[in-house]
Amino acid sequence: MFLFYGVSLCGPIDQLKVLDQDEAISKKSSAYALFIQGAIYENEGNLEEAEKIYLQALEYDSTEYMHVKYMDILLREGRLDDAVKQFEEIIKINPESTEAYVLKGQIDIMQKNYESAEKSFLKAIECGEDDFSIYISLAQLYITTDRNEKAIPMLEEALKLKPDNPIILFQAGMLYVKSGNHKKALEVMEKASTLKPEWIELHMAIAKLYETVKDYDNAISKYNEVLRLYPLNKSLFLKIATLYQQIGKLDEALSVYKTLIELDIENFVYYVQAALLEYHLGKIEDGIETLKKAIKNNVKTADVFYLMGRLYAAKKDLGQATIYFEKAIEKNPRDVDAHLQLAYMYELIKKKEQAKRILEQAHTIAPDDAEVLNYLGYFYAENGLELEKALLLIEKALEKKPESGAYLDSMGWVLFKMGKYEKAQEYLKKAGDTLPEDPIVLEHLGDVYEKLASPEKAIEYWKKSLEKKSDNDILRKKLESFQKNKK
């Protein structure tokens, strides 16, 4: 319409057309205004108000897009039946509506109608729109229904459209893990980590996968990447230390535990693990200093005292070792290992009555423990005490561990003490087959051959024993005396 000085230059029919156009423009403007208002409510999380506004907008603009928007809101409100009705309206407008089929698939999933959901998503793909999210939805459906073999191709299709999407790469990687294709999983997940280096969950998943394939060096490297983002995470330090131990890198593990001690001076586990590593590395004095630091920081647990005893024993400071094993038992009166170690210390410092008392306490605490049964039985036999009881104790130990060389030796020795030399020889030979380098077993074999009037055999085994333990002065004197008398 053209106006000239306020006078219309069109006829009556043209005026009607103009009115129709104006009305259409007005409706679209109203629909657009309502759409904006509804979007604001939606962003604020007020779905109920958004739904009302979108419904009003539909009165002005019933296009496919507005119906899809309304269907989406109904779906998110959980009004599934109403959402399905909207789907039917959309299909009347456009039978190839990709968005409508995607939403219908989501409704089907919520209703656990997985077969229908699959058809809906496949139809959405068939409609010809290359939308990676459709492939993702279908992949997730296959994952939900334990059809991982179908999910992987869907994620691969999504990756063709979004090759640098770290989320899709991660999801694909997790599916490759489930299918056992660890190499491919690592490939796509490592790519995802370069695209999103701050993604903690992704790095952790990759590290665990490296652990699964026993590539511990790369696992440690990944955990260290996470540590750079969370430098005070003690669980990560502990994981790294454990992996270093697993691959025999004890110095590196020790360094990590030392860091953990600085982060948490009251956690006894860190002190104990550090001191244990120092023990295995032959750094006995360092281990003692580590545990002294624990005690200074009021970390006085049974484990700390027990390990301190072991370290002093390794240093051959039997007095200090005895003190700390006693302290360990004070802290934990039912600690069987501490009892056994303390009994051994008492034996070494010639306090046999105390050793006997401690061993009998251990037997009261753990009457079925094979180590306790064997040690107490051997102690009785070695000292000529209650030999029948010693025999029963060692028999019980052998029932639990019939192949144990130490227990076979104990049985042979108690039989020796009972004067049953041929039977003793039988058990001691078995012990010798199991522990051919053990100086005690070799000495016992020499003793039994002496009793069985086989002097050459006796000398042979005593010499072998001395080769293994040259500081056995009692055996050396016995051998010298025997050889002298033999002449």
In 216-283, where does DSSP find H-type helix?
A: 216-229, 234-246, 250-263, 268-280
Amino acid 3: pLDDT: 29
The answer to whether residue 295 scores a pLDDT higher than 90 is: yes
Over residues 130-153, mean pLDDT: 88
Q: Which residue matches tokens 């509506």?
A: 97
| Dihedral (Cα; 59, 65, 71, 73), 10-degree rounding | -90
Give me the pLDDT at residue 178, please. Answer: 85
**Range of lowest pLDDT (12-21, 27-36, 447-456):** 12-21
- Other Cβ atoms closer than 10 A to 462: 25
Count of Cβ atoms closer than 10 Å to residue 196 Cβ: 15
pLDDT tens per residue across span 253-278:
999 999 999 999 999 999 999 999 99
Average of per-residue pLDDT across 12-33: 52
Q: Is the dihedral of CA 441, 447, 453, 457 positive or negative?
A: positive
- Rounded to the nearest 10 degrees, what angle do helices 268-280 and 302-314 cross at? 20
Q: What is the pLDDT of residues 415-426, one digit of tens each?
A: 999 999 999 999
Nearest of 477, 475, 452, 448 to residue 464 by alpha carbon: 475
CB 237, CB 214: distance < 8 Å: no
The set of residues, in sequence order, having a beta carbon less than 8 Å from that of 99 and lying 6+ positions away, is: 68, 90
Contact yes or no for 240/256 (Cβ under 8 A): yes
Q: What is the pLDDT of residue 67?
A: 84
Count of residues for the chain?
487
Confidence of residue 129 (pLDDT cuts 50, 70, 90): low
With a cut of 60, say whether residue 20 has pLDDT above it: no
Residue 483: per-residue pLDDT: 83
For 465-487, the pLDDT digits (tens) are: 999 999 999 999 988 888 887 65
pLDDT recorded at residue 362: 98
Phi, psi of 3 (to 5 degrees): -105, 135
DSSP letter at 147? -
Structure confidence by residue, pLDDT tens digits, 371-413: 999 999 999 999 999 999 999 999 999 999 999 999 999 999 9
Angle between helices 98-110 and 80-93 (to 10 degrees): 160
Pairwise CA distance, residues 426 & 290, whole Å: 47
Q: Is the pTM of this model over 0.85?
A: no
Closest to 71 in 3D by CA, of 46, 43, 50, 41: 50
Residue-level pLDDT at 31: 67
Residue 386, phi then psi, degrees to nearest 5: 40, 60
How sure is the predictor about 8, in pLDDT bands with cuts at 50, 70 and 90? very low
